[in-house]
Amino acid sequence: MPLREHLLELRKRLFLAACGLVVGAVIGWVLYEPLLSALQSPLEVAAQEQGKTIALNFTGMASALDMKVKVSLFLGVIVTCPWWLYQLWSFVTPGLTRREKGYAYGFLGAAVPLFLGGAALAWWVLPHAVDILAGFVPDGAVNFTDAQGYLSFVMRLVLAFGIAFVSPVFLVGLNMAGVLRHEPLAKGWRWAVLVAFVFAAVMTPTPDALTMIFVAAPICVLYFGALGLCVLHDRRVDKQRVASTV
């Protein structure tokens, strides 16, 4: 496919993904109040357990409106993940055969629950992280957390976990598209495990190793699962290639 057609396809996919995000943002706007309450819950629990004053702080006249827009977009990204994941996959794998295009729906069916599973794991980690970080507030002090900074922290946490869980699906997709074979993945498994644990250590600011293991273990399992699927696919392709040359 020429470069111009690639750019036109990219523009098309980005436009469709953006339209989906707008629809999701509208849903997020309607559900803003219960979502904001859920976001504040870890702060309230930490304040109650530690006997401290911890609350969101809106600095500026437009901060509350800005917060509502960002929370709406955040929920829009989560709700419309099947749509924009499909658009991303459709751009990454152009020119596939009719049979291979059928794989796209299978990958989408795997990517969506994995993304949501990663987001759910991040939501589970969030109260623990907030409780640990709130513990550094000195006794007698008040912690008015900047609403924008807190939302950015939650968004980075959820999206990072979601993308980390989806990445093995794209490895399998690239393998089946003939772009990536299993040998580099097999040779780099130690680096993959190291990256998973470093990611878990950075994204879970808790002092206990158990939480880090709970976060890193699913990522490692998904990586080795993707590696196994790639090995099976490459062996089948190699056998077909040998049979066709005989």
Q: In degrees, to the nearest 5, what angle opens at C-alpha 134 toward C-alphas 79 and 37?
A: 35
Q: Which pLDDT belongs to residue 26?
A: 92
The helix, strand and coil proportions of the chain, stated in percent and rounded to the nearest 5, come to: 80, 5, 15
Which parts of 93-146 fold into alpha helices (H)? 98-134
Query: Are 22 and 69 within 8 A, CB to CB?
Result: no
CA distances in angstroms from 198 to 123, 195, 203, 208, 215, listed in the order given: 19, 5, 8, 14, 11
Domain count, the chain: 1
Range of the domain at 142: 3-245
Token output for 157 = 């946490």
Strand, helix or coil at 56? strand
Series of mean pLDDT values for 10-residue runs along the chain (246 residues): 71 87 90 86 84 81 85 85 78 63 70 85 83 79 82 81 83 78 86 87 68 82 88 84 73
Q: What are the phi and psi torsion angles at 208 (to 5°)?
A: -85, 140
Half-sphere exposure of residue 239: CA atoms within 13 angstroms, side-chain side: 6
Secondary structure E strands in 62-204: 142-146
pLDDT at 101 (0 to 100) = 63
Residue type for position 214? F
Assess contact for 72 and 102: CB atoms under 8 A.
Answer: no
User: What pLDDT was estimated at residue 207?
Assistant: 61
pLDDT at 242: 78
Residues sharing a CB contact under 8 Å with residue 159, sequence separation 6 or more, in sequence order? 77, 119
Q: What pLDDT does 179 receive?
A: 76
Q: How many Cβ atoms are within 10 Å of 154's Cβ, its own excluded?
A: 20
